[in-house]
Amino acid sequence: MTPKPVHLAVYDTYADWETGHATAHLARAGYEIRTLGPSAQPVRSIGGLRVLPDLALDDVRPEDSSLLILPGADLWDTSDALAPFARKARAFLDAGVPVAAICGATAGLAREGLLDGRDHTSAVSFYLAATGYAGGSRYRDADAVTDGNLVTAGPTEPVAFAREVFGLLGVYEGEVLDAWYRLFHDSDAEAYAVLEKAGALG
């Protein structure tokens, strides 16, 4: 059975390097990746990539998605322009549909109150503390954290972020998931053979 699409949020200044591992391997595993913008108008990433969103934010429903991915962006910290994406994340989580947030998107979720009662991580604890959120006691000093249907990670951990997403969706599990992480994070050549045997290399 074909899985529901994965929705990747895109907005001006989004950090294009943070979600590439996740989306590339999800696509290889049979997920359609659909980009989700503030509107149907083009956006430009922090790396200068011009992206025409497949959908506007208002056009996606949690029940039509397998996962919402929120990358970091300068706009998370410089304005309220991306607050609607945090509100959409709330709708996804309330509906039992996973959300994965990395870098500045974690601050957006903190401002929305979505981290107050969930284990989470980010760049550093004081970055989230500056949002005034009430979830400081649930902060974990880890590369990436999964609590229920929510994945969080800091900006330097795109591989750990992807690992948590794969585990949450059951794309890779156990030894294969561990080997994927060791190959792409640690350049462990022995992990390649595990992935090749499992048919997890494409």
Q: Please, what is the Cα angle at 114 between 108 and 116, to 5 degrees?
A: 110
Q: Rounded distance, CA 118 to CA 122, Å?
A: 13
Other C-beta atoms closer than 10 Å to the C-beta of 193 total 11
HSE on the CB side for 43, CA within 13 Å? 24
Active site residue 103: yes
The structure tokens listed for 167 are 């585990």
Q: From the candidates 103, 110, 115, 128, which is the catalytic residue? A: 103
Residue for token pair 């401002």? 111
Name the residues annotated as catalytic.
Answer: 103
